[in-house]
Structure 1
Amino acid sequence: MGISRNASQCIHRSLSSISLHQLTKHPFRLFHSGPEIFHHRPLALPQAEIRLNRGWQSSAIYHRYLCSSTSTVNQANSGTNGSSEGSSGKGEKSNQSQDNAEQGKPVRGGPVSWLSFLLLFATGGGVVFYYDQKKKRHIEGINSASTAVKEGPSVGKAAIGGPFNLIDHNGKAVTDRDFRGKWSVIYFGFTYCPDICPDELQKLAAAVDKIKEKAGIEIVPIFISVDPERDTVEQVHEYVKEFHPSLIGLTGDPDEVKKAARAFRVYYMKTEEEDSDYLVDHSIIMYLMDPNMEFVKFYGKNYDIDTLANGIVQEIRQHKKLKA
């Protein structure tokens, strides 16, 4: 039995009134719970006409509506998924851009670690230790050779002193033989020394005068430069006359100076300073030589004028007693 035209239009309008939300939420309830959905339609059809919808015309209407609704829902879902994918794509692009930006940023060095500081400190300490040990070995060589001579009267000879060929402050070539016949005191230093050398030479000059006044003994003070590159004859000449008229200054070829310093076990080494200038680190020792230019005794920085003068006089007197 067919459905009237008016009834079909009513059914179509009723089905159209069903919200998309309801179809999306419960897409299959049209087939299993038809009466519950139709309960809310605006037009209340008689139950007899609803039962007539079981025919093929009703099935066709349901099929067309279901297809159109499913298509709409699929389009909505596709739009939602597209938006999500677009947002995800934008997020990925944003993350990728951020990663590229971070990769393009210059990498700054981190703070100096404790390990780097310790390595730097150890390296600097090693360099200082090396030069300190080198200096100590030179000084120990001098002390070991000097300990062969005991404090007081001379009882033996140490391997200190020897021949040398140098130039005095007047430009004359001299050797160790030119100083035989008199007692002498030799000091190694350099004219550019800021404080120690002037102090030691002043002490030596005062002791020489005191020895002559006290014991009537004439001592020849000798200054040997360990800086021949700068200590020319003229430089040494101007330098020695500031301390004592009897002070003899010696300089010469660097190799000859080195031989003389080695013979007397003298340590010296250049130390670089600012403005291309330098100082010379050296032993601070005075050597008492007898009239044969043989070593008798050494005197360090700890001697003042009186103890130096008294010590030299005592050594000379003891030496004369032994020779008598």
Structure 2
Amino acid sequence: MASIISRNVNKLRFLNSRLAQCRSPMPSPPIPDRTLPLLQPALPLGIGIQSFAMYQRCLFSTSTATVNPENQGDANSGEGEKSGESNKSSDGGRAVRGGPISWLSFLLLVATGAGVLFYYDREKKQHIEEINNASKAVKQGPSAGKAAIGGPFNLINHDGKKVTDRDFLGKWTLIYFGFTHCPDICPDELQKLATAVDKIKEKAGIEIVPVFISVDPERDTVEQVREYVKEFHPKLIGLTGTSDEVRSVARAYRVYYMKTAEEDSDYLVDHSIVMYLMSPNMQFVKFFGKNNDVDALADGIVKEIKQYKKQ
């Protein structure tokens, strides 16, 4: 009898220890239902029934509240997959933060570029309009738009007399620079000049003094120039001088000239092909190039003289 009581006491102690474990925060693995039949025969009827019922409820509550680590890992992996899917779905709708370009930054860039182009175009139009207004506001005067061409000179005419720029004051003068050994260009231009002078005299009644200035002082002596100018027009005045004097007048009228291929004493002189119209006070009015024929030259000179007289 005593041995039976001691066994029952040991069993109750075991049950109490299990109940204590149920009350502790540490989870315990669930006990399958098949263990209950094994425990029930070991307990006498009417002894510890309430304790066993409490123990059974504790086991059931613990088993439902405790999460299996493997199941928890699966759950976490499932949640990770769901969160990954949600991230993928959200990534499809908007740019990933930290990417190189987003739609918002692209739109801002386009808007900024359009604004810059609009501002530049407006400023350009405004600047052009200001220039046009300023040019219209400027009053044309005798010296407006005139190039710094012309100036004093000292040369010798084809009669061997000293001539300066002051000898031509009070007359309209048309000056051409060339040389007497010129094979074709100078004769053509001087013939055009002489014909235009006669046409101006005939149509407009304006007398123009034609002048030829040599840029080859080494060969164009007074006698050479005299024989040359009388072939084109009786009123054509030929001028020559020393190398320094010719260089000075060419510089004043912005005339280019230079010797080219030289073979013994025969050479050519490359020079500007321009006619200069000078006013009665020996001020530059306009130049006429090689592209003007006789009619264009005559009409251009008459037009410039009429406009000059209106000022």
**TM-score if structure 1 supplies the norm length?**
0.51
Structure 1 residue aligned with 2:187: 198
**How far off is 1:155 after superposition?**
3.9
Distance 2:263 2:275 in 1: 30
Q: Which of 277, 280, 289 is 1:291 aligned to?
A: 280
Structure 2 residue aligned with 1:165: 154
Structure 2 residue aligned with 1:274: 263
Contact 1:169 1:250 (C-alpha < 8 Å) held by counterparts: yes
**How far off is 1:274 after superposition?**
3.4
Q: Which of 218, 231, 243 is 2:207 aligned to?
A: 218
Output one character per residue of 1:172-213: Cα deviation in whole Å (capped at 9) or x when no partner. Answer: 000000011000000000000000000000000000000000
Structure 1 residue aligned with 2:310: 321
Output one character per residue of 1:212-268: Cα deviation in whole Å (capped at 9) or x when no partner. Answer: 000000000000000000000000000000000010000011101000000000000
**How far off is 1:276 after superposition?**
3.9
Distance 1:261 1:157 in 2: 18
Output one character per residue of 1:34-56: Cα deviation in whole Å (capped at 9) or x when no partner. Answer: xxxxxxxxxxxxxxxxxxxxxxx
Query: Which amino acid counterpart does residue 168 of structure 1 have in structure 2?
Result: N
Query: Which amino acid counterpart does residue 301 of structure 2 have in structure 1?
Result: I
- SS of 2:255 mapped into structure 1: coil
Output one character per residue of 1:112-152: Cα deviation in whole Å (capped at 9) or x when no partner. Answer: xxxxxxxxxxxxxxxxxxxxxxxxxxxxxxxxxxxxxxxxx
Aligned residues: 170
Structure 2 residue aligned with 1:8: none
Contact 1:236 1:251 (C-alpha < 8 Å) held by counterparts: yes
Structure 1 residue aligned with 2:171: 182
Structure 2 residue aligned with 1:234: 223
Q: Which of 198, 209, 226 is 2:198 aligned to?
A: 209
- SS of 1:227 mapped into structure 2: coil
**How far off is 1:163 after superposition?**
0.3
How do 1:227-266 and structure 2 match up within 5 A?
227-266=216-255
- SS of 1:311 mapped into structure 2: helix
**How far off is 1:275 after superposition?**
4.1
**How far off is 1:158 after superposition?**
1.2
- SS of 2:250 mapped into structure 1: helix
Q: Percent identity?
A: 82
Distance 2:203 2:241 in 1: 35
For structure 2, the residue ranges without an aligned partner over 5 or more in a row are 1-141
Distance 1:262 1:297 in 2: 17
Contact 1:271 1:278 (C-alpha < 8 Å) held by counterparts: yes
Structure 1: 4+ residue segments shifted above 6 A: none
Distance 2:143 2:285 in 1: 6
- SS of 2:263 mapped into structure 1: coil
Query: Which amino acid counterpart does residue 314 of structure 1 have in structure 2?
Result: K
- SS of 1:242 mapped into structure 2: coil
Distance 2:179 2:275 in 1: 14
**How far off is 1:154 after superposition?**
7.7
